[in-house]
Homo-oligomer: A and B are copies of this chain.
Amino acid sequence: MCHTVAVTRARWTTETVPLPPHALAWLTQRVGLGEPFSEVSVSAPPSTLSADAFTALEAVCAVSADDEDRLGRAGGLSYLDLLRRRGHGEPAVPDAVVTPGSPDEVVEVLKVCVEHDVAVVPFGGGTSVVGGVEALRGSKAAVVALDVSGLASLVSVDPVSRVAVLQAGLTGPEAEKLLEEHGFTLGHVPQSFERATIGGFAATRSAGQASSGYGRFEDMVESVRVATPVGEWVAGTAPASAAGPDLKQLVLGSEGVFGVITEVSVRVRPRPYGPRYEGFVVDGWEAGVALVRTLAQDGVLADITRLSDADETEVALEMAGEKAALLRKYLRFRRVSQPCLVILGWECRSRSATMSSLSGHKVVRLGRSMGASWLHGRFNGPRQRDALLDAGVCVETLETAAHWSRVSEVRSAVRAALVAELGNPVVMCHVSHAYETGASLYFTVLVPRDLEDPVGQWGRAKAVASEVVSSLGTITHHHAVGVDHAPWLEREIGSVGVSVLRAVKQRVDPTGILNPGKLI
């Protein structure tokens, strides 16, 4: 076991990556640009936190009611959040930001908030795309953002069992840096990796890009430590147990409504030796789905497995710039009429097992440069959204998972619903995560922004897509519920399921201070 090691954590900031000229040219031609606009200055309303509550919180840990700090925790990174920062809709701004420095201080903060009847929104990297960190106050007169950045230690490492205890406020890169000193990795790299936190991964059932190899975040968790208004709750003890229901699975995905996750005990692995990423092309979506399904059901998936449909592949080729023409020519030569890109990456699983299974399918190898190019751009999606918005484009993603027998039906139905609602959008889709029994589908939508009512434009599109998705699969595979998916939760888990969540909520948060308006 090691002693606690603390790292400092960078403040939450907004980075924008500009669009390259050929991307902008393609956008202009295919999507058509809308009216450009820039971020407007949004001001914070006066804080409604009482002086008594402020003083009581200050006795526990750092508290700030500065406008800049409060605005920095006013929502996440959904399209609606980005619109709010551009003057469309009111961002919900917390009345103060509290930054406890230990799990015990989190418990104390919750006690104070119960006593003063103040709502609490746990805030990690602020990367929610479903409204999960909106500073809603519910029926309370005030709301504070509980910033977990003060919980930034590697608490312990058990190298024999390969278990590490990480505090909730560590971002992906920070956690990896601390684990690297012990030769380990978590292997959890979702697109939000650079900013999102360990606590956020746990609270939202995050799935990393290499989930086939390392598992979803919930698969890595051995136990969770949670501060609740009724005291501390530690769920999970052993590698496996039959001691009643698995309560850590009740905490994972609870999105801060049952408590604030302060520490997570996770399974770690040795850092990969010689990871390798490659690009392939198959002819047509159905061939691609059959391929990925075979790999999954033969148990030979690569760690990273990603199948783009023809539309997404077309865009990827466009973005490849000068190389695109050469690639297209080569694919015609190989008689591929509907190219669908497949990215496979090996970090811990056997490449030869995958490749041997691939040999039974018609697959064109594009080699490692295409894999390297994917790796290089793996975090670009969220970074480029501000630039797209500023160019007048409505850009958003949505995702689901369904059993294999329904995967293609889901893709077609979601596309059809979005086209019917939005006119002539670009809808790109890829299989992002594969399982023995099914897969997740990830959609990216681009359309010129409605100048009159951009919020309503996306709201209607999201609603029709969600209707489809929730009738054929899950309302969310890895984005969580937050505010945006809450209307569809009951359809998925039933009225008894909702009632059970409410019963748990009432027991651990009887006065309802925790993350009002989210999940249930």
Contacts and interface: CB of A to CB of B under 8 A. Distances in A.
A504 B250 CA distance: 11
A500 B489 contact: no
Contacts of A500: 233, 247, 250, 504, 507-508
Contact of A207 (B238, B240, B496): B240
B435 A240 contact: yes
Contacts of A436: 162, 239, 267, 269
Interface residues of A, number: 88
A495 B158 CA distance: 27
Contact of A245 (B252, B433, B438): B252
Nearest to A236: B493
A252 to B, nearest CB: 7
B476 A242 contact: yes
Contacts of A253: 242-246
Contacts of A504: 500, 503-504
Interface string A459-487: 00000000000000111111111000100
Nearest to A240: B401
Top 5 A-B residue pairs of the complex, sorted by shortest distance between their CB atoms: A249-B249, A239-B438, A503-B507, A161-B403, A233-B496
Given A267-B437, A403-B161, A495-B231, A245 B238 contact: no
A353 B350 CA distance: 10
A230 interface: yes
A398 interface: no
Residue from the set A241, A433, A474 with the largest chain B CB neighbour count within 10 Å: A241
Contacts of A240: 207, 216, 401, 433, 435, 438, 440, 474, 477-478
Count of chain copies: 2
A439 B239 contact: yes
Contacts of A493: 235, 243-244, 247
28 contacts: A160-B404, A161-B403, A161-B406, A162-B297, A162-B404, A162-B436, A228-B496, A230-B499, A233-B494, A234-B494, A235-B497, A238-B438, A238-B473, A238-B474, A239-B402, A239-B403, A239-B439, A241-B475, A241-B477, A241-B492, A243-B492, A244-B480, A244-B520, A245-B252, A246-B249, A246-B253, A247-B493, A503-B503
Contacts of A495: 231
A237 B204 CA distance: 17
A242 B160 contact: no
A492 B250 contact: no
A243 B402 contact: no
Contacts of A435: 239-240
Residue from the set A158, A163, A500 with the largest chain B CB neighbour count within 10 Å: A500
A299 interface: yes
A473 B267 CA distance: 16
Contacts of A243: 253, 474-476, 480-481, 485, 489, 492-493
Interface of A: 158, 160-163, 204-207, 216, 218, 222, 228, 230-235, 237-247, 249-255, 267, 269, 293, 297, 299, 348-350, 353, 400-406, 433, 435-440, 473-481, 485, 489, 492-497, 499-504, 506-508, 519-520
Given A252-B246, A253-B244, A493-B247, A437 B239 contact: yes
A501 B245 contact: yes
A232 B496 contact: yes
A231 B243 CA distance: 26
A251 B500 CA distance: 11
Contacts of A216: 240
Given A255-B244, A297-B162, A473 B237 contact: yes
